[in-house]
Structures are given as structure tokens and as C-alpha cells.
Amino acid sequence: MQGFICPVCRGALVAEGRSLFCQNRHCYDISKRGYVNLLMSQSSSDSRHGDSREMVAARSDFLDLGLYEPLCRAITDEVLGAAKDGMYILDVGCGECYYTAKIKAALEKFSPIVCGIDISKDALAAGARRDRGINLAVASAYDIPVSDGCADVIINLFAPHKESEFSRILKNGGTLIRVFPERRHLWELKCAVYSSPRENEIGSTDIEGFVTVDKKELNYQIELKSNKDIKSLFMMTPYSYKTSADDERKLDGIDYMKTSVDFAVITYKKSK
């Protein structure tokens, strides 16, 4: 386990057995499930604390169908464009590490340090099952326990974030890759659930101190061939905790669906 700092004193953390210690001997145990908890209790007022075990399982089931593989390839290609030996990659809001693990595998010859943070312990446990070589920490995206200017690449896919943390953590000239849902993402799924579905609102994607160097748009249809797959997709989205039980039940008995996926993959460079 490497790549993190103490959330109390900001000193580097070093592994000793099954624990991490800083120079002031603050101690953080490495869970048997494969992550370390660096989330300060006062740093998050969110009582939900990330995806539940059920949401994580649904996400894994859906992603393992391979229907988002074009997105994964697009992200991986962007990371490969910034690849160098010993590079440090941080996935902010890594979830169950579907993308993180595939990116790490693609970069094997560069011997990268790959780290991921998320506030869901269940997500990180699933991520560790995908690849024990990913350094995983329970942490807030608004106060990331990582040193200033240490990262070569930051990945942020659909997840909450704080732009000043990106700027603090990235090296000058470092790469930031973000993914956004576009206006009609999962439109047919939304139409099946809501009587008056709304398109996603798209705000500015500019970030102070960063230059946009590439933007790719991915728009295609996916085919869901069972009710389980349809519900897995629904469960892995924010809709699952924002939707009434009555609306959610509209998916019962639907055994086949085609729905659009609509992503924007934006790559930035931190200005020197």
C-alpha cells in the first residue's frame, strides 16, 4: 500500500505490516478487504457514504457485460498518451475499479503506481477483488489524502470532485481525464421509469488553470437482454436513490430494452 498521506498531519504514510504510519506515528490499519480508511469523520456530512453493497453489486454485474467497453478503451487510450515509467495515477471516485483495473493492466510495462479513492467501503472491497495491486483508500474527493504535485494522471468518471484538489495534486503539465453524461444518456431507460423525463443539464466544462486538449463524444445504443441487466443498469445510476418505489416498479416485467449511452470524455493538461 503506497501513494497516500496522513489525513491528520499530511505526512507521508509508510506500510509496516498491515498498517500505515506517518512520521508522527498516526496509524491506519489496512483492512482485510483491501483498502485503508483515511476518511476523517468530520470531512463528510453525507449520511449515505457512497454506493451501497447492492448498488456496487449491480454496477459490477452491468459493467462485466462489456457494454461500456468503448468508453473504457477511450479512457485508456488517453492515459496511454501520457504514459511514462513509474507514473502515478489517481482515480478520484474509483468505485469498484472496473476502469481502474483495466487501465492498470494496459500500463503494466510502465510499472505505474495506481491509486483510487472512494467513500464507499463496499465499492473499494469490490475494487480490491478486481486487482489487489491498486492502492485503495476510503477518502473524500473534497480533501484527498495525496501529496501536492505528485500525480501524473487523475481520472474522474461521473464522480463528485473539487477542482482545486485536482490542481493541487497534479504535476505541472499533468493530465486530467473526466467523463460526463451528455444530454440523452440512458434516455430510453429514463422514459421507461419517468412520465416526464428530462434531458441532462450540461454546464461549463472549463477548469481554471487547465487547458482542454481533447474531447471525444461516444454515442451508441446498448442492448439489455434480461430484466436483471435492466435493473442492474438502473441500480448503478443516481436514479436508484432518487426515484420513487412506484416509478421503479415500472421496470418490473421488462425483459428487453435498447437504450442510448451518451458520454463526453474530456482530457485536460494542467497549465505550467
Q: What is the CATH number of the domain that holds 72?
A: 3.40.50.150
Q: Is residue 161 part of a domain?
A: yes
**Cβ-proximal residues to 237 (8 Å cutoff; 6+ apart), any chain:** 186
pLDDT of 167 over the 70 cut: yes
Predicted local distance difference test score (pLDDT) of residue 41: 67
Nearest-angstrom CA–CA distance, 100 and 115: 9
Is 0.85 topped by the overall pTM?
A: yes
Residue 131 burial (10 A CB sphere; 0-12, 13-18, 19+): middle
Does residue 188 lie in a domain region? yes
* CB 141, CB 93: distance < 8 Å: yes
Average pLDDT of the chain is: 93
Distance set, CA 129 to CA 20, 34, 81, 100, 119 (Å)? 20, 8, 27, 12, 17
The tally of domains found in the chain comes to 1
Answer yes or no: is 6 within a domain.
no
Q: Provide the pLDDT confidence category of residue 1 given band limits of 50, 70 and 90.
A: confident
In this structure, is residue 2 part of a structural domain?
no
Q: Is the model's pLDDT at 203 over the cut of 90? A: no
Mean pLDDT of 123-140: 96
Give 13-65 pLDDT, tens digit per residue. 999 999 999 999 999 999 999 999 999 864 444 445 678 899 999 999 999 99
24 falls within a domain: yes
Residue 52: inside a domain: yes
Beta 113-118 vs 88-92: how paired, if at all?
Answer: parallel
| CA atoms in the 13 A half-sphere facing the CB of 84 | 8
- The domain of 124 spans 14-270
- Residue 244 located in a structural domain: yes
Distance of alpha carbon 133 from alpha carbon 104, whole angstroms: 9
Residue 5 falls inside a structural domain = no
Rg of the chain (C-alpha set): 19
